[in-house]
Structure 1
Amino acid sequence: MTMKIKHDDDHTVEVLDEVGMTFMALVTHRLNTALRANGVSASEQRQEICAQFMFGLSYELDAGWFQEGETHFFPKVCFLERAKPQPDENLGEVEVAHIPNEASSWHEYAHGVVSDYFENDESLVPPIPTGSYQNGNE
């Protein structure tokens, strides 16, 4: 099977920005859950921590780089679509790789995503199904 790669301005703006905001909401939810579990009880404090973290992470993914040896690496989050796994596989083969390009501006959405999450009683609205391997809602 040949993997298809989607990496252009139109796809980033029309599809991946929305997917990116969903991903940011999931990360915000997981960070908020960890903060609560570790004694940060004030909602306002958790919201501020989540907003600072999400903005910094999103900016790194939009424009940041780090150096390893002599090479500069620019981190990006990509999203994969997979085929149904074969009986002896945990994950199916990658069919499509969605890779945001420079049209992405996740850091511009970060504060809005975090605000929406906290305004919705610290819950994902609408609910976002998740899972690992082929299992749902882990």
Structure 2
Amino acid sequence: MANAELAKLVNVSAATCHRRTQRLLEEGYVSSVRAQIAPARVGLGTLVMVGVVLDRSTPESFADFEAAVRGMKEVLDCNLVAGDFDYLLKIRVRDMAGFNLLHGRQLISLPGVRQIRTFFVLKEVKDNAPLAF
């Protein structure tokens, strides 16, 4: 939403709205402002969730894995989780063939990976919803 639209919505001037928005950013209440790209329009229509199990649960193995994943542009989210996996990755690729290449060239050779479980998303029901408070 543009600053002018937001200002009108909350009934303040555009300048006041901009100052308040900047203050929210500076104080850490808003972490970033960004455009939401339509994945299919840029050739990244396939969403894949990947569960990863590491061969060891040590601070060093976690750090090595996390450092490697940070360098992968296809990985949108990487979360350390409790349960059946150590990490859950959210990955965007062009298609299944693109994922197959990524899997064979990078995922299985990530540091400490013992097992990978792949889930192809059939339908995105809710994605990146705003926080409700």
Aligning the two structures, in what range does the TM-score lie when normalised by the shorter sequence? under 0.3
Larger fraction in helix: 1
Larger fraction in strand: 2
TM-score (norm 2): 0.25
Which protein has the larger Cα radius of gyration, Structure 1 or Structure 2? 2
TM-score (norm 1): 0.24
Structure number with greater CO (CA < 8 Å, separation at least 6) is 1
